[in-house]
Structure 1
Amino acid sequence: MLDLELDEHYQDLVNVVREFANDVVAPRSAHHDATHTFPYEIVAQMGELGLFGLPIGEEFGGMGGDYFALALALEELGRVDQSVAITLEAGVSLGAMPIYRFGNQDQKERWLPDLAAGKSLAGFGLTEPGAGSDASATRTKAELVDGHWNITGSKEFITNSGTDITSLVTVTAVTGVDEQTGRKEISTLIVPSKTPGFTVEPAYDKVGWRASDTHPLTFNDAQVPEDHLLGVRGRGYAHFLEILDEGRIAMAALATGAAQGCLDEATQYAKDRTSFGAPIGSYQSVSFTIARMASRVHTARLAYYAAAAKMLAGKDFKVEAAHAKLIASEAAMDNARDATQIFGGYGFINESLVARHYRDSKILEIGEGTSQVQLMLIARSLGL
C-alpha cells in the first residue's frame, strides 16, 4: 500500500523548521528584502539547527540525513522567505554537495565541516555569459602549469559567491580536448575565496531574491594547486549535470513552499476581507481561485516527493526531477499571481508577503534549468 504520510523523524524536522520559519525568519524578511542585505544572523541560526548539514555524513560534520530531509526544510523556509530558502538550497545542493559527491578524502575533510555547520558557504560556478543551459559551451579555461591550474574566464549569476563567509566556489573549466571525440574536456576545480586573480564582481540588482547573494565572477590567471581538481578530470560537465538533477528536486521543494505560502496568505485574507457585506471568500470567483491554488500545491508536493523517493531508492530520477521542477515552479508563479490579485492593492505593496512572492517566484522558472529545459528533458524521455 502506498503511504504518503511522513515518517515521524521527517515530521519532527518539518515542525522544527516551520516554527523557525514563522518565529525567526518571517519577522525579518521584509527588512532584508527592502535593504537588500544578506541575513547573516538567520544563516548562523540555520547552521546551529543543522540545516546545512542535513544530507551530509556525520563523519564530515553533517547530520547524516538524506536529500528528502533537505527538501522538506526548503519547503518550510520557501513558504515565508525565498531568499533565505535559496541561500540554504544553494549552500547545500550546489555548494557542499559537489565536494561531498565527488571530492577526495582530503577535500572533504578540509571543506565540508564548516559548510555543513553553516559557518561557511560555497558557490557553484557553472553559468557563463554564453553558457547557461548549454553548459557544454563553457569558455572558461584552466591550464595545468608547474603543478598549478591557471584559470581564465568568467561566470554569471553565482549564488553565495560573495558573502563574508564564502569559502570557495567550484567552477567548470575547459582543461583540454578529448582525443577520441575532439570535444572540449571540461573539469571542475575548487577555487578558494581571495585566490589572487579571482574577483567577485559587484552584486546584481535583482527583481526578486533580493536578500540572497548573487554575483558575476572573473578569473584572470587565477592559480590553484593541482590537487584542487574536483572529481575526475574531464568529468566536470557530467558531475555538474548530476548535481543539477538533485538540485531540481530541492528547487521544486522550495517552489512548493512558495506556492503554499501564497495559498496560506490568500486563504486567510479571503476570510478576513469583506466586500458588499460578506467575506470575499464567500464569492465563487475567489473561492474557486483559491481552490485551484490548493490543487497546484498538492500536485507540486506529490511531484517532488515522487522524485525524491526514486532518488533515495537509487533509481534513475532525472525525468521525475524535471517534472517536479516544472510543475512546482509554475505552481509558485501562478499562485503568486492569483494571490496578488486576491489581495488587490495590498498585494502590490512590497512589504506584503504575496508581493515578495510575486517578485521572487519568476526566477524559479529559470534557475537550475529553465522550464524549457525541463520540457526538453521530458520530451526526450518520450522519444521525441
Structure 2
Amino acid sequence: MQKKIKDRKIVVVNQAVNYLTIGLCNAFAEKINKVALITGSIHEQGEKLNEAISVFRINKWEERPAWKKMISYLWGCVQILCLLLTKFRGYEVLFVSLPPMGYLLSIILPNRCSMLIWDVYPDVFKITGMGESHPIYRFWGYLNKIAFKKSHRLFTIGNQMADLLSKYVDKDKILITPIWSIFQSNKRVSKEKNPFVKKQELNGKFIVQYSGNIGLTHNVEVVLELAEMMKNYENILFQIIGRGPRVPYLKSLVNDKGLPNCQFLPFQSDEMFPYSLSAADLGVVILDETTSKGSVPSKSYNLMSFGIPSLYIASKDSELNDYAEKYEHAKCVDHKSLEEAVDFIINLKNDRDFLEEYSENAIEASKYYRRSNADKIVELYLA
C-alpha cells in the first residue's frame, strides 16, 4: 500500500454533499493523512464516506423558497469563513458546488485554495433573465477573475465549461476532469422483473422519462410540448418524476391540454431509484439555452451507465451536444426543433436495432465517467 502524505492537510467544502463529493473525499483520504469535510448535509448513495474523514457541520442548504435558499447560502458562507480562519487555518481548501459563492471566500483567506466548478456563476443567472450588464453579474465576474487567478488548482468538468470559464482566467490554468455516475456498471433491471414497472402498471409502455428537479428555472414544459405533439401515439408515456414549486402548474397544463400520455410521480427513494431509472426507454435531460455551456446534469451519466438512450434538449454549443456527437448515444435538439425529437422517439420505439445501437453506445460512453475520475482529480491536484 502506498504511504499517505503526512505533511499536507485538506478540507473539502460543500454545503450539500452527494455521491460525487463523497467519492472525491474518499479519493483524497487514500492519499493524504488528514482529510476533513465542511458540510450541512450528507446524502450517501452508492458510496459511504470514509470514517477517517472528519466532518464539521454548518447549516443545511434550503431548496426553497428562494429567499430562504439565499439566506442559507449566506449564513453558510459566514460559518465556512469562521471555520477556515480558525479550525482549518493550516489546511488546504477545495471548494465544491454549494454555496455557489463560497469559493469567492478564497480571495480573503490565507489558505491555499482550489475550486471544482460544476456550475458556472454568474453565467447561470442568465436563466433568470439577468444580463451581463447587471451589477451583480459584473461584480461576481470581477471577483471570479481574482479568485481564479489566485487559485492553486481550478477544475471543471468539460471543454465547453472550460471555454466559459476562460472569460475569467487563462484557459491553460483550467483542468478538465469529468465526473461520474452513481452506478458504476450496467445493472439495469428488465421491465419483466422491475417492481417499479409493476407498481405503476407500465408494462407495454414506451417510457420517455424526465427525472429531476422541477424548479422555477427548469423548463419541463418542453416535455409537455412533446407529449402534446405525440398524444395520438399509443403506448408512449411521458413520465415526469421529481418535485418543485412548478409541479402544480405543470399538472394544470396537462389537464388543460387533455394529455392522457403524461404521468407525474414524486422523487423515488434511494432503494427504488435504480428501478425507476431502469424503467425508462429514453431519458430526457433539459438545459436552458442561455446556460447550456455552464452546466452538465449528473443524470446524464446515470442514464449512460444503465445503457439508456438520451434526448438532450440543449443548445448546439453545450457539453451535452458534444457528448451526443462524440458517443452517438443521444439526440441533442434545441427548443425550436422538437419535430426532430419526435422523429427520434418514434424511431427508437419502432426500430429495435436502432434502440439497441443507442443503448450499447450509452454503455460504452459510460466507461469514461467512472468513479476512477475522482482518483484522477486527486492525482492532478497533488501533481
Choose between structure 1 and 2 for higher RCO, CA contacts under 8 A separated by at least 6 residues. 1
Please identify which structure carries the higher helix content. Answer: 1
TM-score computed with the length of structure 1 as normaliser: 0.26
